Amino acid sequence: MRRLKLHWQILIGIGLACIAGTLTGTDAGLFGVTYYQAYDFIGTLFLNALKMITVPLIMAAIITGIAGIGGEAGLGRLGVKTVLYYMLTSILAILVGLALVNAIAPGIVDGEPAGPRLGLAENTEAALQGVEGRGAGDIAEVFLRMVPPNIIAAAAEGQMLGLIFFSLLFGYFMTRIQPDYAGSLKRIWQGIFETMMKITLWVMRFAPIGVFGLVAKTVSTTGFAAFVPLLSFFVTVLLALAIHTFVILPLLLRLVGRVDPWLHFRAMSPALLMAFSTASSSATLPLTLECVQENARVSNRISSFILPLGATVNMDGAALYECVAAMFIAQAYGMELSFGLQFTVVLLALLTSIGVAGIPAASLVAILVILGAIGLPIEAIGLILVTDRILDMCRTAVNVFSDSCGAVIIAKTEGETAVLSKEFAETRG
Ligand code: ASP
């Protein structure tokens, strides 16, 4: 019997989790153990496994990738293209969000600001505490995190930016030492990289079960009823994310990358479902790398440069969400939506999305920064907490998808012909 493809397995895991989570809720159990605890255990175990492989995988991927780029010119060119791509797609995402939130106006009901009807979430205080320590959103902070005083501590705390910067330096200077040392080092890192990719593949075999645990846990706590009052906000975000994912990015793939977007969706489907289930770009990174290299056929040289960096700094979904959420709250509070206010929101959404970490709920910190800047009380964030987790799952998938599109587009502009080639698609069926 042919084994079901990974993305189908994950999808089934998600479907079963929705059913199980709704049926059991948080309190039902067997022999004194609640189902919720079981979901939590499975999900955490799987997330731990993903986090376990991240540090060595990312280091090895970047070091071997940079060492293979060859010289300053190659690195400079790739760097410029990458930054341009990150900026362009984030701005496009924010503008889509801004257009929709103005058109639909989810914060205004029957011509009145919706604030009083929605009421603030009672547990705002507790939620705000949960948000603390998720990484600040301002730019100076980003640079400070980029150069960590202690690389081991940065790795231990999952500060990816510092780790990425160190690995970039290491890969670059590794090629500038005596050739025999450089050669041995290259072989060692290449070996580590291959080994880590094998471990990743093995961990992924458990993805459907892990995903089941993660999603069932979310569904059993959140339920679906809580969404009703926020439905139009929810729909606005989903619609904007969908336009960015199914119109804007495919257009870029088609026009700039000259590839079939559908093939790319297929190549990335396991990573997208994983991003959806974990709500963390960083935890998804091993699978993103795997899909971009093995399925989309982008070289390690390019993918290992763009993807780890993208997982922390390029967040289209988060940027879009921040803009829509801040505007929604401003609408609900009856603020005048002047050009200045909208411009501030757009600019801050762009800048803070760079600083947002690739972990669940990280955007909430950035939204706090924006609310403060436009003169709203930070408690106002209570309005959107109920829907945050599900929207987080969706925006994380968009974050990951945009990174992967960047890898494909840049690889094509660098002359990689194997990327998403038709022949390759046919052999994979
Ligand atoms: N959870 C998102 C990610 O990891 C970040 C966010 O928007 O909260 O990509």
Q: What are the sequence ranges of the domains in the chain?
A: 6-428
In ligand 1, the atom with minimum distance to the C-alpha of 279 is 1
What are 4-54's pLDDT values in tens digits? 777 778 888 888 988 888 888 777 777 777 888 888 899 889 888 878 888
d(CA 59, CA 160) in angstroms, rounded, equals: 10
Q: Which atom of ligand 1 is nearest to 396's Cα?
A: 9
The whole-number average pLDDT for the span 137-145 is 67
Burial class (CB in 10 A: 0-12, 13-18, 19+), 181: exposed
Of 395, 400, 402, 404, the residue with max ligand 1 atoms within 8 A of its CB, to mutate for a pocket test, comes to 395
- Could you give the CA distance from residue 428 to residue 304 in angstroms, rounded to a whole number? 23
Q: Which residues contact 1 (CB under 8 A, 6 or more apart)?
A: none
Q: Does the pLDDT of residue 257 top 50, yes or no?
A: yes
Show the ligand 1 pocket: residues with CB < 6 angstroms.
Answer: 279-281, 315, 318, 356, 358-363, 392, 395-396, 399
70-84, 125-139, 232-246, 398-412: which has the minimum mean pLDDT?
Answer: 125-139
The residue whose CA has the least distance to atom 1 of ligand 1 is: 360
Main-chain phi, psi angles of 265, to 5 degrees:
-55, -45
CATH code, 6-428? 1.10.3860.10
Q: Which residues contact 75 (CB under 8 A, 6 or more apart)?
A: 66, 69, 172
Shortest-distance atom of ligand 1 to CA 280: 4
| Strand-pair category, 108-109 with 112-113 | antiparallel
CA of 393 to the centre of ligand 1 (A): 8
pLDDT computed for residue 325 by the predictor: 94
pLDDT grade for 138, boundaries at 50, 70 and 90: low
DSSP E strand stretches across 214-258: none
CB atoms within 10 A of CB 5: 14
pLDDT category at 235 given cuts 50, 70, 90 is: very high
Would you place residue 221 in the very low, low, confident or very high pLDDT band (cuts 50, 70, 90)? Answer: confident
- Which ligand 1 atom sits closest to the C-alpha of 356? 5
Spatial CA neighbour of 232 closest among 104, 363, 330: 104
| Closest ligand 1 atom, residue 400 Cα | 9
395 alpha carbon – ligand 1 mean position (Å) = 7
Q: Rounded to the nearest whole angstrom, what is the distance from the C-alpha of residue 112 to the centroid of ligand 1?
A: 31
Centre of ligand 1 to C-alpha 280, Å, is: 6
Interval between CA 417 and ligand 1 midpoint (Å): 32
What residues pair up with 86 in beta bridges, in sequence order? none
88 alpha carbon – ligand 1 mean position (Å):
19
More confident residue, 371 or 399: 399
Token look-up 């009145």 returns 112
Q: What is residue 18's predicted lDDT score, i.e. its pLDDT?
A: 85
How far does the centroid of ligand 1 lie from the alpha carbon of residue 177, in Å? 39
Q: What pLDDT sits at residue 139? A: 61
- Residue among 315, 391, 401 whose CB has most ligand 1 atoms within 8 A, to mutate: 315
For the residues 340-344, what does the mean pLDDT come to? 87
Tell me the pTM: 0.81
> Residue 29 C-alpha to ligand 1 middle, in angstroms?
31
With pLDDT > 90 as the criterion, what percentage of the chain qualifies?
33
b/e sequence 92-124, b meaning 16+ C-beta within 10 Å: bbbbbbbebbeebbbbbbeeebbbeebeebeeb
> 191 alpha carbon to ligand 1 midpoint, in Å?
31
Q: Which residues contact 200 (CB under 8 A, 6 or more apart)?
A: 53, 57, 286, 287, 289, 290
What is the whole-number distance in angstroms between the Cα of residue 362 and the centre of ligand 1? Answer: 5
Atom of ligand 1 nearest to the CA of 359: 4
Q: What is the pLDDT of residues 158-217, one digit of tens each?
A: 777 788 789 888 988 888 889 899 889 989 998 998 898 888 888 888 888 988 888 888
Q: Which atom from ligand 1 is nearest to the alpha carbon of 364?
A: 8
Q: Taking each helix axis from N to C terminus, what angle separates 281-290 and 300-313, rounded to the nearest 10 degrees?
A: 160
Ligand 1 centroid, distance to 397 Cα (angstroms): 9
Mean pLDDT rounded to a whole number for the chain: 84
**pLDDT at residue 390 tops 60:** yes
Choose the residue to mutate in 363, 364, 370, 402 for probing ligand 1, maximizing ligand atoms within 8 Å of C-beta. 363
Q: What pLDDT score does 420 carry?
A: 82
Residue 283 CA: nearest ligand 1 atom is: 4
